[in-house]
Amino acid sequence: MRIAVIGGGPGGLYFAYLWKKRHPEALVDLFEQNAANATWGFGVVFSEQALDFLRADDPDTVDAIAPEMESWNNITLNLHGQSVEIDGVGFSSIGRLKLLTILQARARAVGVTMHFETQIQSLDRLQGYELIVAADGLNSLVRRAFEGDFGFSISYSTNKFAWYGTTKRFETLSQTFVQTERGAFNAHHYRYAPDMSTFLVECDHGTWQAYGFAYKDTEQSKAICEEIFAETLGGGLLLSNKSMWRNFPWVWNERWFYKNVVLIGDALHTAHFSIGSGTRLAIEDAIALAKALDAEAHVSTALARYQAERKPIVKKLVTAARTSADWYEQFREHMKLDPMDFAYSYITRSGRIDEARLRAMAPRFLAAYEAEKRTEVRHDA
């Protein structure tokens, strides 16, 4: 089979690698508009469960990635000058470019032909391929060519965010909430290398307007964020990489394929960064698509199977991501809570963690939370 993969992000690279490894006789061409060593953003994060799914299907790739990862077992929330640690929440992170480099090497090793700095301007160029895998991200050219056929829709969260990096090392996945005279900010920060961390700054639209960010360039915005989070950064600097202010885009497609064209990753769906699942979803899409193609004799029936089996799983996770994002849309109000109540609200925000699961997952945190509640009851009495 001749396959064209459009997009050299984690999803596209992983599908190309996976299919070529399992089917050496297949012809797999991958087209990426950017250079091999180009990316935007900084680190990406995986939960323990996310790595488990990959390990079950492809332990060799996990073994290649794991030595380059930073890992921790707690989340730290910083509010009102106090820190609350929630135990038992395992995550690992890796630099986005490091992940791409590893996946590129694995794809190259199995014989995938990769065309970097090659933009597909028209699908006419892809005639002769039996399958076209659109892994070309939020602004997918392939999807735009057939938006009506895919049932494409997009909406945006109202919060603004800017994705920075920093050389400051953070020991856990952390969130720092800061109230200023003109509004409230939140920073999502975690290390993805021994000497590098992601530092994503978020605020509501009112705060963004109050600071005049619409009229600030990237360097001016960065300087303001450095001042607001000076204590968190230890006086250090933020690093920019296309770090402009954005609204999070909610992409969804009701139909996942059209003729011999199929969508995966951000071209197909997005999940809010607060649950850290974008890269995981793209790689899981690649695995599901490869399994469906192996299970069916014809491409058309395989793509229908991919949609039928994968869509309910993704829909469930995207629903949880939307619930999580709704919590962040109101984080300024949540900041009025005391730190322990705030932490409980935070960790249960998506609806996926109830009290029973929290007790099993984070016994130290829940014990401290319940002890504080008992103390409050005694004081009230």
Q: What is the pLDDT of residue 82?
A: 95
**Which of 40, 33, 99, 12 minimizes the C-alpha distance to 64?**
99
Q: Is the CB of residue 261 less than 8 Å from the CB of residue 142?
A: yes
**Which residues in 321-348 are b (16+ Cβ under 10 Å) and which e?**
bebbbebbeebbebbeeebbbbbbebbe
Superfamily for the 2-40+96-155+249-329 domain: FAD/NAD(P)-binding domain (3.50.50.60)
Q: What is the pLDDT of residue 132?
A: 97
pLDDT of 232-270, one tens digit each? Answer: 999 899 999 989 999 999 999 999 999 999 999 999 999
Strand partners, 113: 29
Question: Would you give per-residue pLDDT tens digits along the chain (381 residues)?
Answer: 999 999 999 999 999 999 999 999 999 999 999 999 887 778 888 877 777 778 888 889 989 998 999 998 999 999 999 999 999 888 889 999 999 999 999 999 999 999 999 998 888 889 999 999 999 999 999 999 999 999 999 999 999 999 999 999 999 999 999 999 999 999 999 999 999 999 999 999 999 999 999 999 999 999 999 999 999 999 899 999 989 999 999 999 999 999 999 999 999 999 988 886 788 899 999 999 999 999 999 999 999 999 999 999 999 999 999 999 999 999 999 999 999 999 999 999 988 888 888 999 999 999 999 998 888 766 665
H-assigned helices in 146-200 = 147-150
What global pTM score does this model have? 0.93
Q: Is the CB of residue 81 less than 8 Å from the CB of residue 231?
A: no
Neighbours of 293 (CB within 10 A): 25
Task: Parse the chain into domains and list their residue ranges.
Answer: 2-40+96-155+249-329
* 250 CB-side CA count, 13 A: 16
